[in-house]
Structure 1
Amino acid sequence: MNNKIAIITGASHPRDIGTAICRKLASKGIDIFFTNWQADNEWINRLQQEIENLGVRCVGMEIDLSPSDAYKVVLDSVELELGTPSILVNNAAHSTRDGYLELDGNTMDAHYAVNMRTTFLLSVEFVRRFKRERANGRIINMTSGQDLGAMPGELAYAATKGAITAFTKSLSAEVAPLGITVNAINPGPTDSTWMTDEIREHLLPNFPMGRIGQPSDVAEVVSFIASDEAAWITGQVIHSEGGFNR
């Protein structure tokens, strides 16, 4: 996968999924452009150096993805710094607790702006700028299994992430003739920045493999979907949950 450029949104913490994806794709020889939000600058610099030590280029960008023009800023920046990307991983997400008693317009809008609008507009602008002669294209969206079970208390998050499934399937049909695949990954509950010991204790019995999913598990699936070997896979939601029982 040498000479390919990947955009990964939402790499803001040493233990998050976006960071694991950056590391994995970099290990495959892919140049990395990642976005972060309110991350520790010292850690960001260390991550960039770690990735560059793998022999690839790496650029990190702090950006709030909620403004309506954020997608253009990201794509303009990656083209200026690295070149035209062939891989887009829409990993960034906004999530707060709500439920029917708390859900209001501001909460809904905040989730929509990041989870839907920026994900969708990044995807279509990526396609519009795509140069097929350089490589096959890959768009990989992250979802959370909203079609598999209820998420009480997270109505805005479930609704906006669930919309990604419909978008993925429809966009995949449109852009297949261009040599671009579009897929989504549902990693199930993953032990990243949001889990506490109490949550781990509650969830562990639901994993028949005896452990909770790790960010590195997600990164392995992303790496495969981004590879040439996955060229025949498109329009799919891949449930990589380790057999998680709801």
Structure 2
Amino acid sequence: MNKIAIVTGASHPRDIGTAICRRLAADGVNIFFTHWQADPAWIDEFQMEIESMRVSCEDMTIDLSNPLAAQTICQKVVEKLGVPSILVNNAAHSAQDGYLKLDALTLDQHYAVNMRSTFLLSVEFARLWKKANLKAGRIINMTSGQDLGLMVGELAYVSTKGAISAFTRSLAQELAPLDITVIAVNPGPTDSTWMNDGIRTHLLPKFPLGRIGTPDDVVKTISFLASEEATWITGQIIHSEGGFLRG
């Protein structure tokens, strides 16, 4: 029987969430992905693409800032595919701020998606797993290296994504007896939907390997961590960013 993965934030052909879905499907994993403000025609095409890999695929349009989003997602995946064994918390909210712009609304918008949805999806997943009494569960949280360096002008993003690392470490200890590993992955700056030529020109000299990371680089790490080969890795923050030089 194929494993089932929930992947949040697969809303564009070039984003990281979409690449994660493709790679896990290629690994023989059934896919349930969430998206927001995506092109409906592309969603249909993408679902057919995933199903062409001989796995099942279901999707859901959902605003992760909704306090009930985690419960809704878990109920729907069980209804459509069964109990999931892999959760990839990939979706994120990001907006430029800085000390002159930061206010309560900006913080709340970042908190709702980056922290609350990640935290609640993780515990809802674990509750399903405990009830089903299954083995070898995986929770993989995406972060952005906030403990490695500065991100000036993105105070709300930095603070809410940085909290994911602390949450990951503590949750890993709680869920180890359930045979669920919990890991965070920092892919470094990745050339997906947010980069333009100016950003690429600025970042390229900071990559000693001579190129900027792509979603395909990210998914190799995700694929490994979701596999049986990674059973002994938990409570870790994996920095897979091609030697990116900060500062």
Fold-level similarity (TM above 0.5): yes
CA deviation map 1:139-173 (0-9, x unaligned): 00000000000111000000000000000000000
Q: Alpha-carbon deviation of 1:134?
A: 4.1
- Correspondence for 1:3: 2
How many Å separate the matches in 2 of 1:171 and 1:65?
21
- Correspondence for 2:86: 87
Q: 1:63 is matched by which residue type in structure 2?
A: I
Q: 2:184 is matched by which residue type in structure 1?
A: A
Q: Alpha-carbon deviation of 1:189?
A: 0.2
Q: Alpha-carbon deviation of 1:67?
A: 1.0
How many Å separate the matches in 1 of 2:89 and 2:119?
9
How many Å separate the matches in 2 of 1:50 and 1:129?
28
Identity among equivalent positions (%) equals: 68
- Correspondence for 2:42: 43
Question: Is there any run of 5+ residues in structure 1 with no aligned partner, and where?
Answer: none
- Correspondence for 1:118: 117
Q: Within 5 A, what are the aligned runs for 1:135-174?
A: 135-174=135-174
8 A contact 1:35–1:62 mirrored in 2:
yes
Question: Is there any run of 5+ residues in structure 2 with no aligned partner, and where?
Answer: none
Q: Which stretch of structure 1 is more off in the superposition, 204-213 or 132-141?
A: 132-141
CA deviation map 1:27-75 (0-9, x unaligned): 0100000000010011111110011000000011110000111100110
- Residue 67 of structure 1 pairs with residue 66 of structure 2: yes
User: Secondary structure of the equivalent of 2:177?
Assistant: helix
How many Å separate the matches in 2 of 1:97 and 1:133?
43
- Correspondence for 2:98: 99
- Correspondence for 2:233: 233
How many Å separate the matches in 1 of 2:2 and 2:245?
40
Q: 2:241 is matched by which residue type in structure 1?
A: E
How many Å separate the matches in 1 of 2:223 and 2:135?
15
How many Å separate the matches in 2 of 1:101 and 1:74?
36
- Hey, which bits of structure 1, 4+ residues long, moved more than 6 A? none
8 A contact 2:135–2:180 mirrored in 1:
no
How many Å separate the matches in 2 of 1:61 and 1:87?
17
User: Secondary structure of the equivalent of 2:34?
Assistant: strand
- Residue 183 of structure 1 pairs with residue 183 of structure 2: yes
Q: Alpha-carbon deviation of 1:135?
A: 3.7
Q: 2:194 is matched by which residue type in structure 1?
A: W
- Correspondence for 1:130: 129
User: Secondary structure of the equivalent of 2:244?
Assistant: coil
User: Residues 20, 129 of structure 1: CA spacing in aligned structure 2 closer, same or farther, 3 A cutoff?
Assistant: same
8 A contact 1:4–1:135 mirrored in 2:
no
How many Å separate the matches in 1 of 2:190 and 2:72?
29
How many Å separate the matches in 1 of 2:89 and 2:116?
11
Q: 1:19 is matched by which residue type in structure 2?
A: T
Aligned length: 245
- Residue 216 of structure 1 pairs with residue 206 of structure 2: no
8 A contact 2:110–2:157 mirrored in 1:
yes
How many Å separate the matches in 2 of 1:220 and 1:60?
23
TM-score of the aligned structures, taking structure 2 as reference length: 0.98
8 A contact 1:5–1:82 mirrored in 2:
yes
How many Å separate the matches in 1 of 2:98 and 2:237?
26
8 A contact 1:34–1:61 mirrored in 2:
yes
